[in-house]
Amino acid sequence: MSEAKGQGWRDEVMQRLRQVKYPGFTRDIVSFGLVHDLDLEGTDLKLTLKLSTPDPTLPEKLGQEIRDGMKGLLAVKSVTIRTEVAPPAAVASTGAQGIEGVKKIIAVASGKGGVGKSTVASNLAVGLAQSGLKVGLCDCDLYGPSQALMLGCREGVQVEEGTERIVPAVCHGVKLMSMGMLLGDDSPAALRGPMVTRFTQQFLRQVAWGELDVLVLDLPPGTGDIQLTIVQTVSLDGALIVTTPQEVALVDARKAIAMFRKVNVEILGLVENMSYFVVPGTEEKHEIFGSGGGKREAARQKVPLLGEIPLDPEARKCGDEGKPVLLVRASAPAAIGFLNLVNSVTKILFPNISA
């Protein structure tokens, strides 16, 4: 139609659509891939919103924000929005791909920092490796990597000749790669916005993992751009959500669950960490962060509670020494909890392997 149609309106409209955030997220509806079939007929802007959740309030909410966002735009006098609730498989087409040679990829995540994600991820990884599986662990926490320390890995980064891919280190039978290994101590802070996204995508595609049964991704805390970039870059077989029993942690765990569901990643289950503390040498059990939080939330979310790991000074100590507790203090309370978790996860990922 008019000259304006082929020109500026699209950029301007897209820019305004990028201001419309998906409820509960810092990410906008364009980068979530929800906006389709954008067209201008006369002065009527037409678009389709492809949603993955059948929440009836969502089209209305987003529609209102989109209309408000177009106010003052000369080319657009009205907005016609079609809503499609796509079946999960169709929405998952965000470009996420598997990694060649890797059978299963799982994420260990939480909304909150400090709940024990990295401790769970490292113990899970060495536990799976101990049971004979080929395991990789990828520390995706760009700003606070801890796996090199927790697995006692002092190796630097090697680059594969010819392919220029990064070769992971091997610690306690686990192939380890950490985003932190590629950056100097103070450079992550300089990486922002789109650079972080690009770095993360490249990183995830450039590691020479070889043949793996399981790759465990230790995610940074939160439900922001980095987490979404990760789940939209590699296709995950599922996510484990780590939480502690108290409400402040559960609130964030819920956000993480919502994020994964939004991008159609299955929640394999909840892991409650720091569930209780048993005074050494006694039966005295203290539920320091309250009791039953993980169990209640798992029931609410209709996902299994895969572990209740006690608060155990040995877990902290072994982590600091670079030797996961499961490996070096098998009888410690936390180690027993981690071993149960390893068995549950193995059953879910490889139902044909008998434990």
Ligand X SMILES: Nc1ncnc2c1ncn2[C@@H]1O[C@H](COP(=O)(O)OP(=O)(O)O)[C@@H](O)[C@H]1O
Q: Which residues bind Mg ion (CB under 5 A)?
A: 117-118, 146
State the binding partner of 311 from Mg ion, ligand X, none, CB within 5 to 8 A by kind. Answer: ligand X
State the binding partner of 263 from ligand X, Mg ion, none, CB within 5 to 8 A by kind. Answer: none
Q: Please state, in angstroms and rounded to a whole number, the distance separating the CA atoms of residues 350 and 355.
A: 10
Alpha helices in the chain (DSSP H): 3-6, 9-17, 57-70, 88-91, 117-130, 147-150, 193-205, 225-233, 247-262, 293-301, 313-320, 325-328, 333-349
Binding residues for ligand X restricted to 55-114, rule: CB under 6 A: 110, 113-114
Among 52, 130, 146, 197, binds ligand X (CB under 6 A): 146
State the binding partner of 261 from Mg ion, ligand X, none, CB within 5 to 8 A by kind. Answer: none
Q: Residue 117 or 134: which CB sits closer to Mg ion?
A: 117
Report residue 22 as tokens: 């998906």
Instruction: Confirm or reject binding of residue 315 to ligand X (CB under 6 A).
Output: yes
Burial of 126 (0-12, 13-18, 19+ CB in 10 A): buried
User: Residue 141 Cβ, how far from Mg ion at the closest point, in Å?
Assistant: 5
User: Residue 274 Cβ, how far from ligand X at the closest point, in Å?
Assistant: 5
Q: Which amino acid type is present at position 136? A: G
Instruction: Confirm or reject binding of residue 117 to ligand X (CB under 6 A).
Output: yes
Segment 155-160 long-range contacts (CB within 8 Å, at least 24 positions apart): 156/181, 157/181, 157/182, 160/208
Instruction: Confirm or reject binding of residue 311 to ligand X (CB under 6 A).
Output: yes
Instruction: Confirm or reject binding of residue 115 to ligand X (CB under 6 A).
Output: yes
Phi, psi (degrees; rounded to nearest 5) at 203? -55, -50
Choose the binding region for ligand X from 58-66, 205-213, 262-270, 304-312 (rule: CB under 6 A): 304-312
Instruction: Confirm or reject binding of residue 116 to ligand X (CB under 6 A).
Output: yes
Number of residues that bind ligand X (CB under 6 A): 18
Name, in order, each residue with C-beta under 8 angstroms of 236's C-beta and a sequence gap of 6 or more.
Answer: 96, 105, 106, 107, 217, 265, 266
Give me the residues that bind ligand X (CB under 6 A), please: 110, 113-119, 146, 273-274, 309, 311-312, 315-316, 319, 334
